[in-house]
Structure 1
Amino acid sequence: MSAFHHLEIEQLSIRLHGKPLLSLDTRIGPGEVLTVMGPSGSGKSTLLAWMAGFMSRDFEASGRLRLDGRDITALPPERRGIGLLFQDPMLFPHLSVSGNLRFGMPRATPDKQAAAQDGLARIGLADFGARDPATLSGGQQSRVALMRLLLSQPQAVLLDEPFSKLDSHLRHEMRQLVFGHLRDAGLPTLLVTHDHQDAEDAGGRVLELDA
């Protein structure tokens, strides 16, 4: 995986029923985490949805989204090269832990089973491949969701409050794990959160949106 991905939001303006909601012009470099904070209604979720490619038609947007210089603004979500991590791990209940990891891998992956085993070892779950996801703790499910994201080989990542449902003692550990892996992979990342501790552990710029 290239360590030189970058994501550019160019002169973005989002409006709701003609009224300005947010404006943004920024660049997220390789391995950088840009944290976006703000009260409900400030546009955090709408920004995320615009970047991912599933913004509601109630909103209008102008501006461009570029990944490694390529304009991806009009591409459907599955062709953007952007990975997402949500509040819920969203593991497939009908697949084993290993099956969940294999699901998102590119078709050209030479040995998906070996890649899944290696991925599980990297997150301290080496013997968990055959397990039913329902038997995992919340923290273990979050780790599997992170590794599934990384093995899908995204070129940029969006994080939607991925730590908010974890017990407080697990949050710091998961933040270190997630941000460390994203930095190592050189992935530009946008984090949406209400939690100032998330922003502090992310260690990057913080953008505060107004209501």
Structure 2
Amino acid sequence: MLTLDDLLIIQGDFRLSAEFSLPTGSAVAVLGPSGAGKSTLLSVIGGFFAPRSGRVLWQGNDITDVAPAKRPAAHLFQDNNLFPHMTAAQNIALGIKPNLRLSVEDKRAVQDAFEATGLSGLGDRSPSQLSGGQQSRVALARVLVQRHPLVLLDEPFSALGPAMRKEMTTLAREVGAKTGATMLMVSHDLADAQAFADHVVWVADGVAHAPRTWAQVEADPPTGYRDYVGH
């Protein structure tokens, strides 16, 4: 379980508080207006930005001061962070061992990730030889091989067209269900969020609200939600 315990984030004039827990294995959409602090919230959970006060807990253990690389979290960002001089297979293998010295078991994990993300036969291609959707699949496969129980996705598919975004958000959800990972995805697209998530964390007016189901949000929308979705 991920718990944000009396968390307070301050960045200049910006303030954001959070006090909630997420059940293990849940898929959560982080929604809210631009500038509300959605990406900042993920940065704090991932360890890239320190909160002013409060704690980040994973399975009851305080990880607030733990370095990003030592947290049980994998990250997927909008730019995919693929190395252009490496093949798709090498980019995925980096998720297991940065020195690329893979055991037989490691190589099998890379192959399994290729198959799970629909990339079979593309391992020798460089990122420049792949489409935008294929590059996103490589980045998702690298998350998959890391086998971290917490996955943070910060608008990872926003550069793709609507059809490809829907395909990738559905695939990300399937990957999370397969691995049992807890997944949080920042999105500005309601359809993407609905295809991905079973719970919503609404971020607005300095508060990241506790997760609720879509039905709960629609029945009792938080302030600003109706304007956000356009009805």
Could you state the TM-score of these two structures normalised by the residue count of structure 2?
0.81
2:135 alignment partner, one of 134, 141, 154: 141
Deviation, structure 1 residue 9: 1.3
Q: How many angstroms apart in 2 are the aligned matches of 1:103 and 1:16?
A: 32
1:88 alignment partner, one of 76, 79, 88: 79
Q: Establish whether residue 16 from structure 1 lines up as the match of residue 8 from structure 2.
A: no
Q: Once superposed, what is the RMSD of the aligned Cα atoms? A: 1.9
Report the CA distance shift for 1:177/1:81 in structure 2 as closer, same or farther (over 3 A).
same
Instruction: Please tell me the residue identity of whatever aligns with 1:98.
Output: A
Q: How many angstroms apart in 1 are the aligned matches of 2:65 and 2:139?
A: 27
Report the CA distance shift for 1:189/1:177 in structure 2 as closer, same or farther (over 3 A).
same
Q: Quote the residue 1:35 is aligned against.
A: 29
Which structure 2 residues correspond to residues 1-211 of structure 1 after superposition, within 5 A? 6-17=1-12, 21-55=15-49, 60-105=51-96, 110-211=104-205
Instruction: Please tell me the residue identity of whatever aligns with 2:148.
Output: P
SS in 2 for 1:194: coil
Quick check: 1:98–1:113 contact (8 Å CA) kept in 2? no
Query: Deviations for 1:112-164, whole angstroms, at most 9, x for unmatched residues?
Result: 22221222122222111111121010111111110101101212011101121
Report the CA distance shift for 1:73/1:45 in structure 2 as closer, same or farther (over 3 A).
same
Instruction: Please tell me the residue identity of whatever aligns with 1:9.
Output: L
Instruction: Please tell me the residue identity of whatever aligns with 1:16.
Output: Q
SS in 1 for 2:21: strand
Q: How many angstroms apart in 2 are the aligned matches of 1:103 and 1:72?
A: 24
Q: Quote the residue 2:213 is aligned against.
A: none
Quick check: 1:64–1:73 contact (8 Å CA) kept in 2? yes
Instruction: Please tell me the residue identity of whatever aligns with 1:115.
Output: A
Which structure has more relative contact order (CA 8 Å, sep 6+)? It is 1
Instruction: Please tell me the residue identity of whatever aligns with 2:188.
Output: H
Instruction: Please tell me the residue identity of whatever aligns with 2:11.
Output: L
Deviation, structure 1 residue 109: 5.8
Instruction: Please tell me the residue identity of whatever aligns with 1:15.
Output: I
Q: Quote the residue 2:212 is aligned against.
A: none
Quick check: 1:21–1:42 contact (8 Å CA) kept in 2? no
27-36 or 93-102: bigger deviation: 27-36
Identity between Structure 1 and Structure 2 (%): 40
Could you state the TM-score of these two structures normalised by the residue count of structure 1?
0.88
Which runs of no fewer than 5 residues in structure 2 stay unpaired?
Answer: 206-231
Alignment length, in residue pairs? 202
Instruction: Please tell me the residue identity of whatever aligns with 1:138.
Output: G
Quick check: 1:84–1:158 contact (8 Å CA) kept in 2? yes
